[in-house]
Structure 1
Amino acid sequence: MSSLTTRYLMTCAAIGAALGVLLIPANFVSAPLAAAAPMAYAPLVGLWIIGPVLATALVRRPAAALLTSFVAGVVSSASPVGAWSIVTCLMAGAAVELAFLVTRYRVWRSWLFYVDAVVLGVLYVASGWAAFDMAAMSPVVLVTFVVLMVGSFVVCTALGLLLARKLARVGVARGLAPAPVRTAVPEPTAPTS
């Protein structure tokens, strides 16, 4: 596959390693918070998609989210979660990757990242309905919890896109991403003399 260049692999690995280091302390606190204080846990759930969003927006190639997430999972397995962090990270990477797979990797617009974040947030809430005993929550608490959880994915997506734009602006993505057609991160232009 021609899109698996050394630069592509190393960029995804570097982003994944940085995310993995960020997730080590998150893994230490997320499980106890989820059990004891779900409202404090809800804003953390988006952390797992910062790296996949950053890598996907920066390199605009298939499997960037999965590769980045795998590396993040391996690095963050040095936490109480252990090897399960690989599974968790791969699930987050697959969720980010899915939106672009559906478009056959032809659309790289920011709005698609945000739609993906909202869908992922809603699915995460639905999957955690029983675990968080959401049926027992008062309506105000339930709405706050859902907004915090979905909002976490949206805010972390925005952070990933911001980092991708900043890195592209300083030239990290130069020669890495394909031509900027329908992109979330504009390709930096060379200064004219």
Structure 2
Amino acid sequence: MATVSAPSERAPKSLIAYRTIDLVTVATLGVACGVVFWAWAKAWIGISTLGMFAAPPALGLLAGPWLIGGVLGGIVIRKPGAALAVEFIASVIEMLIGNQWGASTMISGLLQGLGVEIVLALVLYKRFGVVVAAAGGALAAALEIFYEWHAYYAAWTWNYKLAYLGCTMLSGIVLAGVVGWLLVRALAATGVLDAFGPGREHHARRPV
């Protein structure tokens, strides 16, 4: 009698070749995330003025939603370049709709997507659980903050810089990594990800 293996978080055998549905999903996620990024940029203007964010480094706690595109692309499509592509497309969409940072948004998109790609590459695109998602959000945040230290906050003291890094990485872990992973699980439960690893794993977890 053949045995049924436990659900796996491993990548599909064809790691490099993109299917048409992969490309369509990259574009769709990129555009959808770009609209969310734009809306969050507008909300950020008001939220950032609240008293709890009076200390500038605390603003890093609001950064997580801008990092979620790479996490979603990486753990849904599970191919090299998907996380980077989704995050970059999202940054371009946000910029084109209009935000307060202009073309520098694309630099941020590249760095944030690269952070998730590095984490996935370290696990050889074979693991896509919540720990990997959280690590991707954290490294995406770190690369973004290294850029912001030079582009926007060069005059800050190191205690401010490090506090900002810590707050942003925490936001990346929770709001991009954990929330992104939970969102993928929720989407998989609806059946829309049946053509991808999360959808197959969802069905494998369900009792027959």
Whether these two folds match at TM > 0.5 is: yes
CA contact (8 A) 2:74 2:83 kept: yes
Question: Which residue number corresponds to residue 87 of structure 1?
Answer: 107
Gaps of 5+ in 1: 181-185
CA contact (8 A) 2:71 2:136 kept: no
Gaps of 5+ in 2: 1-13, 49-53
Matches within 5 A, 1:64-143: 64-77=82-95, 78-79=97-98, 80-122=100-142, 124=144, 128=148, 131=153, 133-135=156-158, 137=160
So what's the TM-score if we normalise by structure 2? 0.70
Identity between Structure 1 and Structure 2 (%): 26
Matches within 5 A, 1:1-193: 3-27=17-41, 38-39=56-57, 41-77=59-95, 78-79=97-98, 80-122=100-142, 124=144, 128=148, 131=153, 133-135=156-158, 137=160, 145-156=164-175, 157-177=177-197, 186-189=201-204
CA contact (8 A) 2:76 2:198 kept: no
Question: Which residue number corresponds to residue 6 of structure 2?
Answer: none
- Separation (CA, whole Å) in 1 of partners of 2:205 and 2:167: 41
- The structure-2 alpha-carbon separation of the partners of 1:43 and 1:171, relative to structure 1 and needing over 3 Å to count, comes to same
Cα deviation 1:99-145 (Å, max 9, x = unaligned): 111222222232122233334445555555571714365xxx975x5
Question: SS of the residue aligned with 1:106?
Answer: coil
- The structure-2 alpha-carbon separation of the partners of 1:58 and 1:83, relative to structure 1 and needing over 3 Å to count, comes to same
CA contact (8 A) 2:189 2:202 kept: yes
Cα deviation 1:155-190 (Å, max 9, x = unaligned): 12111111111111111221233996xxxxx34249
So what's the TM-score if we normalise by structure 1? 0.75
Question: SS of the residue aligned with 1:188?
Answer: helix
- The structure-2 alpha-carbon separation of the partners of 1:188 and 1:61, relative to structure 1 and needing over 3 Å to count, comes to farther
CA RMSD, Structure 1 to Structure 2 (Å)? 3.5
- The structure-2 alpha-carbon separation of the partners of 1:40 and 1:136, relative to structure 1 and needing over 3 Å to count, comes to closer
Matched residues, number: 183
